[in-house]
Amino acid sequence: MAEQDTQPVSAPDKSFDLLSAVHTSEERAMSDPQLVVDVDGFEGPLDLLLGLARTQKVDLAKISILALVEQYLEFVTEARRMRLELAADYLVMAAWLAYLKSRLLLPEQKGEDEPTGAELAAALAFRLRRLEAMREVSEKLLARSRAGRDVFFRGEPETMSVVHKSIWDASVYDLLSAYATQRQRQSVTSVRVLRRTVWSLQEARELLTKLVGRVSEWTPLNAYLRDYLYDNKDWATVVASSFSASLEMVREGTVEIRQGEPFSPVYIRALEQEPDKDV
pLDDT at 101 over 70: yes
Residue 30's alpha-carbon distances to 19, 23, 278, in angstroms, are 17, 12, 188
Phi and psi at residue 63, in whole multiples of 5°?
A: -75, 150
For the chain, the structural domain boundaries read 17-107+115-143, 201-270
85-86 and 36-37: which strand pairing?
A: parallel
pLDDT in tens, 47-94: 666 676 666 555 555 556 677 777 777 777 777 666 555 556 666 777
* Whether 9 contacts 55, CB under 8 Å: no
Rounded to an integer, the average pLDDT of 93-98 is 76
Question: Which residues have a Cβ under 8 Å from the Cβ of 39 and sit 6 or more positions away?
Answer: 18, 21, 48, 86, 87, 90
Question: Among candidates 276, 258, 271, which has minimal Cα distance to 213?
Answer: 271
201-270, what's its fold?
Arc Repressor Mutant, subunit A (1.10.10)
Residue 106 CA to its chain's centroid (Å): 70
- What is the spatial distance between Cα 176 and Cα 210, in angstroms, rounded to a whole number? 64
Residue 177: predicted pLDDT: 92
pLDDT at 184 over 60: yes
Q: Which residue has the higher pLDDT, 156 or 172?
A: 172
* Whether 214 contacts 256, CB under 8 Å: no
Q: Which residue has the higher pLDDT, 64 or 182?
A: 182
* Whether 121 contacts 100, CB under 8 Å: yes
Partners of residue 256 on adjacent β-strands:
269
pLDDT at 18 over 70: no
pTM: 0.34
Band the pLDDT of 194: cuts 50, 70, 90.
confident
Question: Among candidates 170, 166, 64, which has minimal Cα distance to 125?
Answer: 64
